Amino acid sequence: MDIAFPYQLGPQGATATTASADDHIAQMLEQLLFTRRGERVNHPDFGCGLLDLVFSPNSPEVAAALVMTVSAAVQQWLGDVVTIQSVDVTSAASQLQVVLSYLVAATGTPSTSTFSVPVG
């Protein structure tokens, strides 16, 4: 049973679950990328800190550094669940877009998740 993110109640009033394992993996990636380091109790190193970039200037240099940060965080915390194929970060206007391509470790199924971060 995979608990849905964000936490919510299902139709019967019990904790809601995800529709599929792929949805659960995408939600775990979202939690990892948008959690600030030090924010999680008992796991101060958990997170990637995309939200720390909200007031940063938007530039190709920030996007390039973010590729390494995202790759390292996913490998450290979800390396047993997914294998990263590519991380593409694009910088446009007032937004960073992170496109994560990965293989689901349990099935070998390729998948892609996209996350947007407002910046600057």
**pLDDT single digits (tens) 3-15:** 787 778 888 888 8
Does pLDDT of 54 surpass 70?
no
Domains of the chain by residue range? 21-118
> What's the CA gap between 4 and 68, in Å, rounded?
28
- CATH class for the region spanning 21-118: alpha beta
22-38 pLDDT per residue, tens: 888 999 999 999 898 88
Query: For residue 113, what are its two tokens?
Result: 């998740």
CB atoms within 10 A of CB 90: 12
| Strand, coil or helix: 22 | helix
Full-model pTM:
0.82
